[in-house]
Amino acid sequence: MRTARVFIAPVTATALALSLGACGAGGGGSDDSTITVAYQKFGNFTQGDALFKDVKAAYEEANPGVTVELVPIEAAQNDYFTKLALMNRSPSTAPDVMYEDTFMIKSDVEAGYLLPLDDYLAEWEDWDQFVDGAKEAGAGDDGKTYGVSMGTDTRGLWFNKDVLAKAGLPEDWAPTSWDELLEAARAIKESDPDVVPLNIYSGKPMGEASVMQGFEMLLYGTGDTLYEDGKWVLGSQGFVDALDFIGTVYTEGLAPTPQQALDTNIGNTVSAEWLPDGKVGIALDGSWVAGNWLESGAAPWPEWSETMGTAAMPTQDGADPGAVSMSGGWTLAIGSGSEVPDEAFEFISMALNRENSLRYDVEASQIAVRSDVAEDPEYTATNPTAEFFTDLVEVTHFRPATSDYPKISNEIMVAMESVMTGQQTPEEAAAVYDEAVTGIVGDENTTQG
């Protein structure tokens, strides 16, 4: 079973006059008011903190009488979503602007948390610079737009060249199947038992990172899919095979121990400590990881570009197209109950103008979603892995854009965790998943793989 791929491609840039803020739809600054901006500040998601602080200062200077209140949420991904949802449930705590993962948009629209932005976007000249795929990422089921993309990403294999060399693997290592990936991990384990051969996120503590970087990178490499023709796929052999791969790397000691993997700080540990210290050989992770190692990042590592290599994640048996990736990304959205929506959008338009989008995409190692940024020499030259991860867009997949996806994702985490800890076989965990999905969406919204 094949799933259609969605392709985001840069388009030709047109002349753009940079604007500091007002899009014409709002009247920010006319009265004393406060804009609250909630965002994640944790692990790989720290680059936005500095950006928002600078945008706050610039916005307040340009809009006397308006105060921007930043609300950084220091929490891992799932906890961030939970805390943001709790904030949105009360008018007294609901933010005006929020850092919104694309996969949460439709469920948050359904919950009534987000404001449609179409009237503002129609008058914002910068909107034409955003590629079509980025525009679609912020859309709800009703066709309206609820989030403005900050950048997108792809996923692949990061590897420490020194660790691989010790295991007898070449500097240009590029596996063509899951078996070759496992062979490399086994070689690393044999050469140095103190090194984690392969990090692949799994289980509930890492939340959506487990599902996207881990499970879905495997599932879509089998040729199967989670969702097809408006129905959730059950009984998929690819689903079982993906869980079996998870079980193999954990039971053979090719991954972190379950105790390490189920630590909510594992993402920070891998990117900020294990990879730089040569304590992990291969990591299945995202294009943004290098942002941690830049001078402006959370764990500066000047030698990273010499030490780290990249390879595409292969399909299960090397079948076409030979590689697989997943893409997501974050947006800025406005709360549905905001009393200052005009000012809130002016803040977003400033935060995501050309200059600030370029800064964010460089510092956070994001794939640009503005065509003028994608063509900027500073963007293309700053990160030596930018071209590699951008090329993976050609083989990328996107999560099902449905409001019930977050619940389905949670059931995938449960299945992964039960297999990695040895509580269930892949077949047993897949059967439990199938039953849970049927309970969530109803039998009429499922199909057999």
Same domain, 116 and 208: no
DSSP per-residue string spanning 276-302: TTT-EEEEEEEGGGGGGGSTTSSS--T
Same domain, 162 and 299: yes
Q: What is the pLDDT of residue 44?
A: 59
Is-contact 288 366, C-beta < 8 A? yes
Structure tokens of 178?
Answer: 């899951």
Structure tokens of 276?
Answer: 């730089």
Same domain, 139 and 288: no
Same domain, 333 and 323: no
| CA-based nearest residue to 286, from 181, 210, 185 | 210
Q: What is the pLDDT of residue 128?
A: 97
Same domain, 306 and 255: yes
How many alpha carbons lie under 13 Å from residue 83 in its C-beta half-sphere? 16
Is-contact 150 332, C-beta < 8 A? yes
With respect to residue 190, please indicate whether it lies within any of the assigned structural domains: yes
- Split into its structural domains, the chain has a count of 2
With respect to residue 404, please indicate whether it lies within any of the assigned structural domains: no
Q: What is the pLDDT of residue 8?
A: 33
With respect to residue 60, please indicate whether it lies within any of the assigned structural domains: yes
Same domain, 171 and 265: yes
Q: What is the pLDDT of residue 108?
A: 95
With respect to residue 14, please indicate whether it lies within any of the assigned structural domains: no
With respect to residue 288, please indicate whether it lies within any of the assigned structural domains: yes
Q: Where is 57: in which H helix or E strand?
A: helix 47-62
Q: What is the pLDDT of residue 28?
A: 36
How does pLDDT run along the chain (449 residues), one tens digit per residue? 333 333 333 333 332 233 333 333 333 333 569 999 999 987 656 668 889 999 999 999 999 999 999 999 998 777 899 999 999 999 999 999 999 999 899 999 999 999 999 999 999 999 999 999 899 999 998 999 999 999 999 999 999 999 999 999 999 999 999 999 999 999 999 999 999 999 999 999 999 999 999 999 999 999 999 999 999 999 999 999 999 999 999 999 999 999 999 998 999 999 999 999 999 999 999 999 998 898 878 899 999 999 999 999 999 999 999 999 999 989 999 999 999 999 999 999 999 999 999 999 988 889 999 999 999 999 988 788 988 998 998 999 999 988 899 999 999 999 999 999 999 999 999 999 999 999 999 999 999 98
Structure tokens of 142?
Answer: 């009703």
Domain stops at, among 292, 307, 327: 327
Q: What is the pLDDT of residue 26?
A: 36
Gap between the Cα atoms of 391 and 374, Å rounded: 13
Same domain, 309 and 176: yes
Same domain, 237 and 206: yes
Same domain, 264 and 280: yes
Domain stops at, among 307, 327, 347: 327
Same domain, 188 and 139: no
With respect to residue 12, please indicate whether it lies within any of the assigned structural domains: no
Q: Where is 233: in which H helix or E strand?
A: strand 231-234
Same domain, 250 and 301: yes
Is-contact 311 173, C-beta < 8 A? yes
Same domain, 80 and 190: no
Gap between the Cα atoms of 84 and 107, Å rounded: 13
Q: What is the pLDDT of residue 43?
A: 66
Looking up residue 75, the CATH number of its domain turns out to be 3.40.190.10
Torsions phi, psi of 178, nearest 5?
A: -60, -35
Torsions phi, psi of 157, nearest 5?
A: -100, 120
What distances in angstroms separate CA 122 from CA 36, 116, 142, 145, 220, one per listed residue? 24, 12, 17, 11, 36
With respect to residue 263, please indicate whether it lies within any of the assigned structural domains: yes
The residue type found at 132 is: D
Q: What is the domain extent for residue 276?
A: 155-327
Domain stops at, among 286, 312, 327: 327
Structure tokens of 176?
Answer: 């063509």
With respect to residue 283, please indicate whether it lies within any of the assigned structural domains: yes
| CA-based nearest residue to 157, from 12, 341, 281 | 281
Whole-model pTM? 0.83
Q: What is the pLDDT of residue 20?
A: 30
Helix (H, G, I), strand (E, B) or coil at 63: coil
